[in-house]
Structure 1
Amino acid sequence: MHSEILKPMVVLIAWTILMLVWLVVTRLPAMKAAGIDITKLTGGKGADADGILPASTQWKAHNYNHLMEQPTLFYAVCLIIAVSGTGNGMNAWIAWTYVGLRIVHSIWQATVNKVSIRFLLFALSTLCLVALTLHAGMAVFHG
């Protein structure tokens, strides 16, 4: 099966891995500078470092977490669209728009992090997800 909508999915997965690398290469030195020895840590979660590590370091971690949240719905809806045979044309363009907005959102959150702009990017990407969901529903229930 060849469906154009699979391409933006792969790009967002690759971007998520890149954000993970960015997170690691900034967080580990920040932890060392803060006197945190990861070999002595037990349990905990990434958010425990809020207030200990610099905010700009944590922004990358927060964004990585965000890429584990809403995009999971994106992947699911894109697979539904691909399997239904409607993953080309408009649906592929909407998916590319979603991915572009999520990448810009990541860069913004990881660097500047002004919430009003970040929220706008999130809202616009959510509208793309809503459109894809409606198209998936039409394909599945009326196709």
Structure 2
Amino acid sequence: MSLIDKLLILAIAFQVLLTFGILVWMGIERVPRVARGEIAVKDVAVDRDAYPLRARLLSNSFDNQFQLPVLFYVSALLALWSGGAGWVELVLAWLFVALRYVHAAIHVTTNRVYRRFAVYTAGLVVLALLWLWLVLRLVVLAPSM
């Protein structure tokens, strides 16, 4: 396995780590409140409105990790599967993951929507470029059989 492949797998792992980190933080915010009886289970069985703001922000950020990142996982796995992941895929993958960390940090702290949206859009553009490059490399530029 090449160094580029290993670094690409590491980018995937860092995205997964972000998701697990938010999940753990969300559990730390939610579970004790329910356990102490501050929040009744029936009040959170259907929606999150009974939770305090921080717990709702974490929940929204956690949910968001299953939107664009799903397309990232597929693209990274496709790059690895093709046997020819290169520096372009690697740089775009790490840039996407870095932007996801910034997006999550904004989401669970200040939650400044315009700033969060700008970072989300930047991540979307990077992901679109990654997909465009993969299609170009694997379909258009690939030698025909």
Q: TM-score band (shorter)?
A: 0.7 to 0.9
Is the contact between residue 63 and residue 109 of structure 1 (CA under 8 Å) also seen in structure 2?
yes
How far apart, in 2, do the equivalents of 1:37 and 1:111 lie? Answer: 25
Say whether 1:130 aligns with 2:133. no
The 1:96/1:84 distance shift into structure 2, 3 A limit, reads same
1:15 aligned partner:
18
How far apart, in 1, do the equivalents of 2:81 and 2:53 lie? Answer: 42
TM-score relative to the length of structure 1: 0.86
TM-score relative to the length of structure 2: 0.85
Report the residue type matching 2:30 in the other structure. Answer: R
How far apart, in 1, do the equivalents of 2:37 and 2:116 lie? Answer: 28
Is the contact between residue 39 and residue 51 of structure 2 (CA under 8 Å) also seen in structure 1?
no
Relative contact order higher in (CA < 8 Å, ≥ 6 apart): 1
The alignment-based identity, stated in percent, is 24
How far apart, in 2, do the equivalents of 1:42 and 1:55 lie? Answer: 15
Report the residue type matching 1:65 in the other structure. Answer: D
Give the 4+ runs in structure 1 shifted more than 6 A. none
Structure 1 residues 67-106: aligned runs within 5 Å: 67-106=65-104
Number of matched pairs: 138
Report the residue type matching 2:90 in the other structure. Answer: A
How far apart, in 2, do the equivalents of 1:86 and 1:30 lie? Answer: 49
Structure 2 unpaired stretches of 5+: none
